[in-house]
Structure 1
Amino acid sequence: MSIFSRIKDAILGNKAKAAPAPSSAPASKPAATAAPKPTSTASSSTPATAPAAAVDVEAVLQQMAANQKQQLNWRTSIVDLMKLVGLDPSLENRKELARELGYKGDTNDSAAMNIWLHKQVMTQLAAHGGKVPPELKD
């Protein structure tokens, strides 16, 4: 599993993707046996709304940070963000993450790479269904 995938799963979760399919099937069965028109409309509205709801990345990270003993600056630091989600923030892992995300700069310039990584991770989280405030992507 890639480093970004582990970050994404830690923040956005991978259970949310599996949840709509099972909840759709049971909702369809009672709708067919009970009242087809009223129940079907309500049932179809609920599953359609659930997958469309984006995960609030900021809220998830704030909650994770609240449970930490150490104060982490996850809003601007890729190192602290990785620590927060339980990943090793070593330079080697950050270089690997940079390769995964297509970093074209010098990976020996860790300061520039880290700034790029943080912005890119937030941008990618938004692209994968996360609700990320603009100030975290810019």
Structure 2
Amino acid sequence: MVKPHYGYAKTESAVKRKLREYKKEVAKGNFETQDSYMLFQDYCLDWLNSVYKNKVIVTTFSERMRTYNRYILNQPIGKVTLNNLTQKMIQKHINSIAEVSVNVAKIVLFLIKSSLCYAYQADKKIICLFKM
């Protein structure tokens, strides 16, 4: 969510000009949101509880929470802020999990992909690294 922006000028036309310039900057993505500095593990947990929980049955949700607790919470990828998370970090994390279990790696990738794409769609200035 972008903080309110206040602009002042001597004339109404100057205020409108400043507003247009501000909207252009926002459209370019030059303003970061508060959520950009949120840790990925915190954002993912928030997404699980507020969005994903309402779309699946209880057993599926509890399985995904177990996966989150084991493979995202307190892991190196979970401790990265959203604005610093890169595709390379995600791939490295998925590769390390895939060495143990490909199926678990697919589930972790689903959690990462879905939460990041939701952040992007919710206008949180996060780059969606995946095609939906």
TM class by shorter chain equals 0.3 to 0.5
For normalisation by structure 1, the TM-score amounts to 0.40
- Name the structure with the higher helix share: 1
